Chain A
């Protein structure tokens, strides 16, 4: 397993090279330049030229790329907009995004897995239809829309939760109060797909012979479902959750904008609009690393769920 982990981590090197080239190419192909974004619309060409020289934007592309890579790996990449170290800027925002992601994952899992199981067990019941309709709604509705609906319901009409902003860490009362609405809105997408997937995975397992055997042996319904069926349905569910965590990063971009949340998603979007090339570069590369690590963790979890899976 150690070998496997090392092999997977080594694969990061070509992947990062590819991602970095790709991001750099997109940055350079897209119109607009950081100097104009930095100095504002009314800046003179003269001032823009000076700023381009100051941030080495007038160098040939290959030199700019090499410089960015060297700076990234030595931790020296500097944001043009924030005039600070990219790594420390991203790390400063990471807790807000991770806490939000964690809470929405928690909400999604706590709600969607039991709902999926019950839907499968009571297939074609009213509960099944109702929960699947809600899940369908959750998959289809855009995150920013649910966000705004939640804000109006809980902050404006009921006045029980704050409308937006970061109130502190998840484990503080104010922090949690601020995090509930964005986490709920972000969890919808994950919740919807996990409920549907849990249901179908469970249905597949429930019809297997060994389940019938277990039932025939007189094992209680609860043990059959939770121990025999659910454990075997967990692999596709875990894969889905793993993939969805990555999708949550994308969802966070929208949620963080709607809820004025100071996280990595909003940082990346603002960096793109501001054409802060080093910051976009750093954000995307770091997100790629996080994505790979999450996928690796998911793969490693398979081994615990099904000892038959071997990594050698």
Chain B
């Protein structure tokens, strides 16, 4: 009898230890709307890959704390030559990759060259085009020389798509294999990728910035926002984002923590400058006057976005909010009517004019297109709304086949990234086929100078011309970034770019 009692007691004790041991492991479960295409920095594009990779890899400089100012990370200091062409980085010593390899300058050179290598067809190669040479005078110094000064260069180096990879391990594995077994120096080590199910990261106890509080992170791709909401409400997830606005208010009522910040994603309407009557300034002005944007926008975006007046987001260099707001055309049906009548008289706008407005399939942009259609009907213009699947729509936009479209953009907080590709004639993202020598010149110059005052002036000039003189686009809204977390999660705030950074110099997310 005593023996049995002893055995039972031992069993009970072991179970208690095991159970408590297991419960002590801190696991953070994060829902993401899409599975990343890759976790190899060379191939990454889009917020999902960057969110996961941002916790595995470190970059030379960091924009994790402030999206506007570069902070040291793998580089402890750097200098930029007076002509803005030579960047010299002093690297931090004693850092190890997750596989135990030492981090040195050769890894930096290898990573950047891999991004620029044509064979890899990296989506980020475009941001490293100005790079002429990368030299490593010693193990902890990297000198990068550019052909021309390029103001957003530090941003390119601080982007998650420039996460530093270990040269030897990557070469041994091959670029494609590294995709599914990434090794970095960041706060979390890659552990497992079960496609369409989960990506698991475990904590890097040797992380040089801070030892992560979380032991394990599970990223789960959940395509349906309704399912993501149910997971949050039922306690199946700790962190979720990209939820439907109606679900977000419910979460708040249920006591979950909802945090929002103004985001770096925009929505806008565009006209095709190469097609009649859209090519006529008066037609674009008339459309502007015909739609009550101040009423429509809150209805479409609820609490999810604020009205935009420029392409450059509020707070980013050259945003010029006051001027743009003042010069935005007001809702004025009489003026719209007069302009349409004038165009009809001149034969530019045919009687019973019909055209198609295109938008992607998301509800908000569909609604923007629908508002245009409903309003213009009152002026005798029939507008068909078409929302093709993205892979169908995108080539049409690039080929300049859409008369009018409701689209969006998202990028890092530098005015170059918000304007250059949209407005210069040779870009494939210039869906409006817009071409203005003054705007092009300002944008080309804007990326080559570093003086913020001069740069801001150039972007203001360009945006004033394109948006409140030519009215080639109608800026609609900047979306907010909202994350919902369970009350157990501590220290996690949304980032304007929708990244989920768990450990930075000032933040170490925890779960109670």
Contact assessment for B224 and A152 in the assembled complex, using a CB-CB cutoff below 8 Å: no
Contact pick for A163, options B38, B46, B236, B429, CB 8 Å: B236
A-B contact pairs, 9 of them (CB 8 A): A41-B429, A47-B125, A89-B195, A93-B196, A156-B233, A156-B234, A163-B236, A166-B197, A260-B220
> Can you add 11 more A-B contacts, CB < 8 Å, to A258-B227, A260-B222, A273-B389?
A33-B395, A39-B121, A40-B123, A42-B429, A43-B126, A44-B126, A51-B121, A151-B227, A164-B222, A164-B236, A259-B227
| A121 CB–B CB distance under 8 Å | no
**Is B1 among interface residues, defined by CB-CB distance under 8 A?**
no
| Closest B residue to A166 using CB positions | B197
Residues of chain B contacted by A262 (CB below 8 angstroms):
194-197
Chain A residues near B396: list those with CB within 8 A.
31
Q: How far is the CA of A266 from the CA of B236 in the complex (A)?
A: 21
Closest B residue by C-beta to A260: B222
CB-CB under 8 A from B223, the residues of chain A are 257, 260, 266
A189 an interface residue at 8 Å Cβ cutoff?
A: no
Given A148-B226, A165-B220, do A37 and B391 touch, yes or no (CB 8 Å)?
yes
* Complexed CA–CA distance, A43 and B429 (Å): 9
The answer to whether A270 touches B391, judged by C-beta atoms less than 8 angstroms apart, is no
A156 CA / B235 CA spacing, docked (Å): 9
Interface residues in B391-427 (C-beta closer than 8 Å to A): 391-392, 394-396, 411, 421
Closest chain B CB from A155 CB (angstroms): 4
Let me know if A50 is at the binding interface, CB within 8 A.
Answer: yes
A44 to B127, CA, bound (A): 10
Residues of A within 8 A of B (CB): 30-33, 35-48, 50-51, 54, 81-84, 89, 92-93, 144, 148, 151-152, 155-156, 159, 162-166, 257-263, 266-267, 270, 273-275
Residues of A within 8 A of B429 (CB): 41-42
* CB of B454 to closest CB in A, whole Å: 26
CA of A25 to CA of B235 in the docked complex: distance in angstroms?
45
- Whether A84 contacts B230 by the Cβ 8 Å rule is no
Question: Quick one: closest B residue to A38, CB to CB?
Answer: B37
Q: Is the CB of B391 within 8 A of A273?
A: yes
Give bound CA distance, A274 to B35, whole Å.
11
Contact A32 B227 (CB under 8 A): no
Task: Give Cα A63 to B226, complex, Å.
Answer: 43
Alpha-carbon distance A42/B196, docked complex (angstroms):
24
Select from chain B the residue with minimum beta-carbon distance to A160: B234
Residue B322 interfacial (CB < 8 Å): no
Q: Say yes or no: is B45 at the interface (Cβ < 8 Å to chain A).
A: yes
Most buried by B among A50, A163, A258: A163
Please state if A47 and B122 are interface contacts (CB–CB under 8 Å). Answer: yes
Are the CB atoms of B45 and A43 closer together than 8 Å?
A: yes
CA distance A98 to B509 in the complex (A): 39
Cα(A42)–Cα(B233), bound, Å: 35
Cα A148 to Cα B224 with chains together (Å): 10
- Considering the chains assembled together, what is the distance between the CA atoms of A39 and B429 in angstroms? 14
With A45-B428, A262-B195, A266-B196 as contacts: A159 and B234 at CB distance below 8 Å = yes
* Chain B neighbourhood of A257, CB < 8 A: 223-224
Q: How many angstroms between the C-alpha atoms of A260 and B227 in the bound complex? A: 8
Output the residue of A33, A165, A273 with the most chain B CB within 10 A.
Answer: A165
Cβ B235 vs Cβ A32 within 8 A: no
Residue interface bits B187-201, CB-to-A below 8 A is 1, else 0 = 000000011111000
